[in-house]
A = this chain, B = another copy of it.
Amino acid sequence: MYERKIPVDLTCPLRLTMSLIDSKWKSCILDELRGRAMRPSELHKALPEAAPRVLDIQLKELVDDGLVSKTVYPELPPRSEYAITPLGMTLIPIIDSMLEWGEKNKELFVRKYGEMK
């Protein structure tokens, strides 16, 4: 795993919160898991633009940070499920306000940056 060489000042509440969710797919993962627990393969299907390996890594970080929980069912074929934790749920209002902001202002930026498709 990668070891940071330049520490971040997590004393700043803003940077602390940011550090937990500003990776490329973390906010999307939390948004997907808000309604129900999902299996890894489901998440991969739900976020097809994300490289599977990246999803796995960011999922693991979310688990390490206590925002998501992982349950492994000792079955065959193997099955596991990721669910948002109560702590993770407390971030949902932030996700929601970002969703709402993006919805309300998207025309502004689609015009500026193009469809980006």
Enumerate chain A interface residues (CB-CB to B < 8 A): 7-18, 20, 22, 27-28, 31, 49, 65-66, 87, 90-91, 93-95, 97-103, 105-106, 108-110, 112-113, 115-117
| Contacts A7-B116, A9-B49 given; does A66 touch B108 at CB 8 Å | yes
Complex Cα distance, B12 from A27, in Å, reads: 11
**A100 to B, closest residue via Cβ:** B13
Contact assessment for B98 and A14 in the assembled complex, using a CB-CB cutoff below 8 Å: yes
| Closest chain B CB from A61 CB (angstroms) | 12
| Closest chain B CB from A78 CB (angstroms) | 29
Known: A14-B102, A65-B112. 14 other contacts (CB 8 A): A7-B117, A13-B98, A13-B103, A14-B98, A15-B102, A16-B106, A17-B98, A18-B22, A18-B27, A18-B98, A65-B109, A87-B105, A93-B97, A94-B97
> Which listed residue (B28, B66, B105) contacts A15, Cβ 8 A?
B28
Complex Cα distance, B98 from A49, in Å, reads: 27
Complex Cα distance, B96 from A71, in Å, reads: 33
Contact assessment for B18 and A109 in the assembled complex, using a CB-CB cutoff below 8 Å: no
